[in-house]
Amino acid sequence: MLVHIPNVLTAEEVALCRQRLEAAEWVDGRVTAGDQSAKVKHNLQVPENSPTARELGDIVLRALARSPIFASAALPLHVYPPMFNRYDVGMTFNTHVDNAIRNVSGRRMRTDVSSTLFLSAPEEYDGGELVIEDTYGAQAVKLPAGDMIVYPATSLHRVNAVTRGSRWASFFWTQSMIEDDRQRRLLFEMDMSIIQMRTVVPDDHASVLGLTSCYHNLMRMWCKM
């Protein structure tokens, strides 16, 4: 399930992130890659534990907390501290799958959901599309600055080579309360239907109450906490 979430960051937040990243230290992106990914990864990253990464990561986490679509699509239990990368001309990240387990402060978390939050406007660079192998084939994603794509961490994906300009983004993983992507998809579609239904019938209408009851009972059945 691919979910495009617009305006996760405001224009002011994007501008602040860009300002901080302009002055940040950048290192080889392979420092956080697994054995397989390191062979195909060619980009730059801000060191995970740097003051810049922590400051901007907090901005992203606050933005996620106010996004009902992210909450509905990811059903987050734990969110990995957001990281920041850039692809200059010639840089790419060939086809790979994300590591299944990440360590956060000595605690292991499962990566169920991957997210990429774009910090560069599409007109700032050529190439650099995030290409995700979805159920319906390869989907190329290139979003406005401040928008985010959420997709299963089990997906094969790549970043096409940048041929002009520079592509900047934040990326992170979420351990979901719902491990199975098919179940998350069903719950997300059900939640969106409930929200839409509430625009045309009262909240206490039998159809809204019945569908809401089904949603929460499926959550009880499938949640792993």
Question: CA–CA separation, 144 vs 100, rounded Å?
Answer: 28
What is the rounded distance in angstroms from the CA atom of residue 74 to the CA atom of residue 115?
A: 10
Pairing between β-strand 27-28 and β-strand 130-134 as defined by DSSP bridges: unpaired
Q: Which tens digits make up the pLDDT trace of 161-216? A: 999 999 999 999 999 999 999 999 999 999 999 999 999 998 889 999 999 999 99
d(CA 78, CA 141): 25
pLDDT tens, residue by residue, 28-75? 988 776 666 678 899 999 999 999 999 999 999 999 999 999 999 999
- Residues 172, 80 contacting (CB under 8 angstroms): yes
Which pLDDT does position 35 carry in this prediction?
Answer: 66
Binding residues for Fe cation: 96, 98, 157
**34: which DSSP letter?**
-
Q: How far is 89 from 165, CA to CA, in rounded Å?
A: 6
- Binding residues for 2-oxoglutarate are 167
Predicted local confidence at residue 225, as pLDDT:
83
Strands (E), the chain: 3-5, 27-28, 41-42, 44-45, 76-79, 83-87, 92-96, 101-104, 107-110, 113-118, 125-127, 130-134, 137-141, 148-152, 157-159, 162-165, 167-176
> Each residue of 208-219: pLDDT tens digit?
999 999 999 999
Give the C-alpha separation, 19 to 12, whole Å: 11
The per-residue pLDDT for range 3-28, each reduced to its tens digit, is: 999 999 999 999 999 999 999 999 99
Is the model's pLDDT at 153 over the cut of 70? yes
Q: What is the mean pLDDT of the chain?
A: 95
**Which pair of structure tokens corresponds to residue 216?**
């929460």
The predicted structure's pLDDT at residue 34: 62
Specify binding-site residues: 96, 98, 157, 167
DSSP class of 177: S
